Chains A and B, each alone.
Chain A
Amino acid sequence: MIVATAIAVAILFGAGAYLLLKRDLIRVVVGVVLMSNAINLFIVSASLRRGRAPIYPLPPDARVADPLVQAMTLTAIVITFGVSALLLSMVYRVYTSHLSLDLDDLAAAEERAAAADDREAIAQAYAREAAERDRLEVG
């Protein structure tokens, strides 16, 4: 059972990693969700102590599934939801500001912006230098 769980975790994780490398931002988010699912499965199966559900009334000396690991998984699932919801809304926001969700388009836009910044910085440097020269000449 151990190796079967490990294989399942690995497949989920690998599929997530594959999607993470896509150009489509929506698929990237799906990749993150898949990886998180793999990790949740990993945490919950780390208990290894199989037994009754940890809910009273319990018969004396019963084998009880590890409640601590379950509590942690529960927390992890909720946090995962918060993170992936935020990611999805960020994807939407990227669409509204760039009208594209293609990473190549976004990278090109970023480069254009950086080039514009550079041009501005160079222009400012020239202006500063000219001002300095004027000041010295006046002085």
Chain B
Amino acid sequence: MPGGATNLLAALLALAVAGPTLVAFVARWRVSFAPLLATAVAALTFVLSLALWLAGGAALDAPWAPSLGVRLAFRFDGLAALYAMLASGIGALTIAYATRYIPDHLRHQHRPPRAGAIFWPLMTGFMGAMIWLAAAQDLLLLFVCWDATAIASYFLIGFDRERGVAQRAALMALLITGVSAICFLVGALMVRAATGTLDVTLAAERIEPGAFSTVAVALIAVAALAKSAQVPLHFWLPRAMAAPTPVSAYLHSAAMVAAGVYLLARIYPLFLAAPAVQGALVVVGFASMAVGSVLALGSDEFKRLLAYSTIAQYGYVVVMLGLGGAAGLAGAAFYVVAHAIAKSGLFLTAGVVTEATGETRISKVGGLGRPLWLLAAASGLCAAALAALPPTVGFFKDELFFKTALTGGSLTTALALAGAMCTFAYTARFWIGIFLGPRRARPIAWTSSVLVAPIVVLGVLALVGGVVFGPLRSLAEAAGAVSAGEPTPIALGYHLDARPENLLALATWIGGAVLAVGVMRGSAAIGAFGAALGQFGPERAYDAALSGINALSDAIHDFEVRDLRSRIATILLPAGVLVLLNFWVTPNQGAFDPGRILWSDVPLLLILAVAAAAAVATAVPRDHLSMALLLSGVGYSLTVVYALISAPDVALVSVLIETLFALLFLGILGALPRSLLQRLAMQISTSERKRRDAIVAAITGLAAFTVCWGVLSKPAPLETAAAAQIALTPSAHAKDIVTAILADFRGLDTMGEISVLGVAALGLIALLGRRDAR
């Protein structure tokens, strides 16, 4: 690898962290400077990614947590380049769009411009996380970046803080993608257990097929599918449309949902050990296509239609990854880019239409093609790309899709054709519904060239990509090669012959047009069907689970805050139970050593027994004076223990402390009125209460026993830090080594200890000195 490219990669990764930080500070200082700076950061990131790709990529590897084998390993390969350019390119365009959109959005919501300060660092921070994610090679590093994107998405969806809908949607997206991310973590650790490494490439070389590997890979796939909003974890995506439009266009069409299929492509070599999971991908992909398509056909809201369409489109990609092969793997990469260009353009279009007319539904607008001709043309190109019309880039995405589907047999081909027809139909309905037909919306308020320009760029890209498809093809081939581990050549081109892909494309257009006409007549019926589907969908299960967990949490909280006792019990009991569970489930052959008892230990045993007996006696209810004396008994027996195990310093201090404490205790008992003490001593607990306390105490004691025994059973190290201190003591002019440690070697600790005592003494004076009762 050339050194220059490595420096470039380091610069790119540094910019991904430094950019958002800088934007955050500038946004705090002058909120009006942040939008331009954020756009510049995104554009610079894109330029750096492009330069790095043209320089041939690079790799960086640094230890992170060497004892765990976790490394900061990055490799800017074809897959990384594709997703990095996708995230930064679409990011730059949507952020540029947002420079105009967000201030207006805040004004419509009657919020101060300062409220936008959080938006810019979050958008650039999300982009930075995607850059790191794209280049990461270590599974744990991937997981960290993965969660960073989820957190940024949470705050961006909930940007309109005052709206409850937005808050609930943000929480739902965070829970679905965050909880499934735990599956990713577990799967990654299982891969590490099976192969001994967290590096994706190394793990793929070492992994063996089997049930364990299948579960591990399946867990990672669950996280990826949830992120890409695949059935049955798709329902968070339509809700996430509560976010401002630039967020929807960026995170929820191009970047965050793409992270899911990116992960599948990244871990693709692991699928060799888990063919069942790869097969399941095909099923999930087709299910998502079906659900997304039907719901998209029936929805009236622009953004919702586009969100359902995103579910369906990522279903295509998942199917392609499931079927694999050169066309499938390189095609999936190609598809993601083509879809991102088209879909973000359509999202931004929806945002402009809503800003211009105040309407969010197709049935409320129409005929906007004449006044907004530039927008209509640009978004028409994006729509054509989504509907796979030549000569846009979208034509090839469907060509590759059909090529892949043909390898799967006649059933997959038929399903693919049906899916493509639906895509054509709802895309046509979206564009025709907005721009053609009678005008229903009130007159246009305004349009801004800043809002339309990014859409024009995307539309032009969609068109140019369909004519000059070489660069994108080579990028997709390089990305596919990373997944496949071998070159994945894809031949693209327009052919005027009766090859199967062309026939399928033709069938798509005809069938799609017929379907579109039918849908525009009967969209209400399909909408009702979609609503009925939503009633019984997995969203119900999510709601039930959420309210159940909430109720459980409330119940525990109500018990916990009742008084001090229940608070203590809620700490002691779970802690004890968890320790015992851990003891029960972990293999502990030979971990516990009963130890040997020598004749010389008998006095020690006896005095330990006395201490234990005194402790038990202290716990038995009786008057406070005897309790104080028994407590002192425990303390003095321990003093003898210290003396017996050759710790004279500890024993001497213990005598002093026990005496002082006994005096203080008796003094306080003397200061309290006798009637109060008698009343307290006479308290009789119910036998049920006593039994419950005894059970909690027994579990706590047992847990302490297992921990203590387990720790003491560890063989003592032969060389300890103490050896050096024993040797050093004469040079500190001391005879007592413990004194030397306290006063000299660890003198700072002792100073801290004395300060604690000093503060406690001050507290004592303050608390005991005041005699005023209320």
Contacts and interface: CB of A to CB of B under 8 A. Distances in A.
B552 interface: no
B737 A54 contact: yes
Interface residues of A, number: 89
Interface in A21-52: 21-24, 26-28, 30, 33-34, 37-38, 40-42, 44-52
A81 interface: yes
B616 A11 contact: yes
Contact of A1 (B597, B677, B701, B704): B597
B705 interface: yes
A27 B627 contact: yes
B726 A67 contact: yes
A103 interface: yes
Contacts of B701: 10-11, 13-15, 17
Nearest to B741: A71
A91 B772 CA distance: 15
Contact of A2 (B628, B713, B757): B713
B642 A54 contact: no
Interface stretch (B138-146, B362-370, B762-770): B762-770
B661 A51 contact: no
A99 B773 contact: yes
B594 interface: yes
B555 interface: no
A46 B711 contact: yes
Contacts of A106: 563
Nearest to B677: A26
A124 interface: no
A104 interface: yes
A54 B563 contact: no
A70 B597 contact: no
A95 B708 CA distance: 37
B647 interface: yes
B668 A33 contact: no
Given A15-B697, A30-B631, A107-B563, A3 B767 contact: no
Contacts of A66: 720, 722
A56 B730 contact: yes
Per DSSP, chain B at the interface is helix
A64 to B, nearest CB: 6
B612 interface: yes
B557 interface: no
Contacts of A19: 618-619
B645 to A, nearest CB: 6
A65 B736 CA distance: 12
Given A22-B565, A68-B721, A81-B657, A2 B763 contact: no
**Most chain A CB within a 10 A radius of its CB, from B627, B648, B737:** B737
Interface in B562-619: 562-565, 568-569, 572, 593-598, 601, 604-605, 608-609, 611-612, 615-616, 618-619
B654 A12 contact: no
B771 interface: yes
Contacts of B535: none
A102 B664 contact: no
Contacts of B595: 1-4
Contacts of A96: 770-773
Interface in A45-85: 45-58, 64-71, 73-75, 77-85
Contact of A18 (B624, B628, B694): B694
Contact of A88 (B619, B641, B665, B704): B665
B615 A12 contact: yes
A91 B759 CA distance: 17
A42 B742 CA distance: 20
A95 B403 CA distance: 83
B725 A53 contact: no
Contacts of A11: 612, 615-616, 701
Contact of A100 (B648, B661, B676, B730): B676
B756 interface: yes
Contact of B693 (A18, A26, A28, A93): A18
Given A56-B730, A99-B773, A78 B767 contact: no
B497 to A, nearest CB: 77
A89 B763 contact: yes
Interface in B717-762: 720-722, 725-726, 729-730, 734-738, 741-742, 746, 749-750, 753, 756-757, 759-761
A49 to B, nearest CB: 6
A35 to B, nearest CB: 9
A34 B634 contact: yes
Interface in B682-707: 683, 685, 693-694, 696-698, 700-702, 704-705
Contact of B648 (A41, A53, A81): A53
A86 B638 contact: no
A27 B628 CA distance: 10
A104 B672 CA distance: 19
Nearest to A42: B708
Nearest to A62: B726
B597 to A, nearest CB: 5
B738 A49 contact: no
A38 B704 contact: yes
A9 B597 contact: no
A90 interface: yes
Contacts of B721: 68
A22 B624 CA distance: 13
Contact of A67 (B608, B698, B737, B771): B737
Nearest to A18: B697
B594 to A, nearest CB: 5
Given A86-B760, A88-B665, A8 B647 contact: no
B679 to A, nearest CB: 8
Nearest to A23: B683
A42 B729 CA distance: 26
A65 B646 contact: yes
A88 B720 contact: no
Given A10-B704, A17-B701, A86-B760, A71 B742 contact: yes
CB-CB nearest 10 A-B residue pairs: A14-B701, A2-B595, A10-B705, A18-B697, A82-B760, A6-B709, A54-B737, A13-B704, A17-B700, A67-B737
Interface of A: 1-24, 26-28, 30, 33-34, 37-38, 40-42, 44-58, 64-71, 73-75, 77-86, 88-93, 95-104, 106-107
6 contacts: A8-B609, A21-B569, A38-B704, A41-B641, A70-B650, A81-B661
Interface of B: 562-565, 568-569, 572, 593-598, 601, 604-605, 608-609, 611-612, 615-616, 618-619, 624, 627-628, 631, 634-635, 638, 641-642, 645-650, 653-654, 657, 660-661, 664-665, 668-669, 671-672, 676-677, 679-681, 683, 685, 693-694, 696-698, 700-702, 704-705, 708-709, 711-713, 716, 720-722, 725-726, 729-730, 734-738, 741-742, 746, 749-750, 753, 756-757, 759-761, 763-764, 767-768, 770-774
Given A28-B564, A49-B722, A89-B768, 19 more contacts: A2-B713, A8-B608, A11-B615, A12-B615, A17-B697, A21-B569, A34-B631, A37-B615, A37-B634, A46-B712, A55-B735, A56-B736, A77-B650, A78-B753, A85-B664, A85-B764, A86-B767, A92-B668, A107-B562
